[in-house]
Amino acid sequence: MKSIYTISIFTEDRIGLLNRITIIFTRRHINIESITASVTEVKGIYRYTIVVNVSKDLVEKLVGQIDKQIEVLKAFFHLSADIVSREIALYKVSTAALKENELFTRTVNENHATILGISTDFIVVEKTGDEQEITRLFNELEKFGMLEFARSGKVAITKPMKTLSTYLKEIENNSNKTIKHFNNN
């Protein structure tokens, strides 16, 4: 049975690594629903957040393959219940919306969105939220004359309290144990 999984990948900063990771998905004919890349709280460590709709067996295999990449420090997968996530969307709406100023303003406010700017031809609205909230506002703003729409990929952090620093220490400790074992033989 397929589910939506969010994969978090912590890596070193290496050119071409994202390409190697996405090839793993391409070879298995898996569509990436969204992807983001960002720095983390640890200097020099980056996070890729990838959302896929696959079976649990397949996501386990994907994460296992990703983990084998040399510059990948650790990869995890999570169900939606195990993460806190958000997306950001920008909506460019015709200034004709101002003819219905009260309705337009109420729509923006009720959706906890922000007007970023107004020009002679368009209004830019920003919304941060989950996929359903962003889609709902899109549908409501469409009646005002949608000119352009852009949406980010999912940004997510896990609910469990184990931090990236903890994982890095575990990796370091396991590496030290392997080196000691190797030197003793």
Q: What is the mean pLDDT of the chain?
A: 89
pLDDT in tens, 43-92: 889 999 999 999 999 999 999 999 999 899 999 999 989 999 999 999 99
Q: How far is 27 from 29, CA to CA, in rounded Å?
A: 6
What's the rounded Cα separation, in Å, for the pair 88 and 149?
11
Confidence of residue 178 (pLDDT cuts 50, 70, 90): very low
Integer angstrom CA distances of residue 1 from 53, 54, 55, 135, 158: 10, 8, 5, 25, 23
Domains, the chain, with CATH or none: 2-84 (3.30.70.260)
Whole-prediction pTM value? 0.80
Is the model's pLDDT at 125 over the cut of 90? Answer: yes
Cβ 60 vs Cβ 77: under 8 Å? yes
Percent of the chain surpassing pLDDT 90 = 74
CA–CA dist 87, 111 (Å, integer): 14
DSSP 80: G
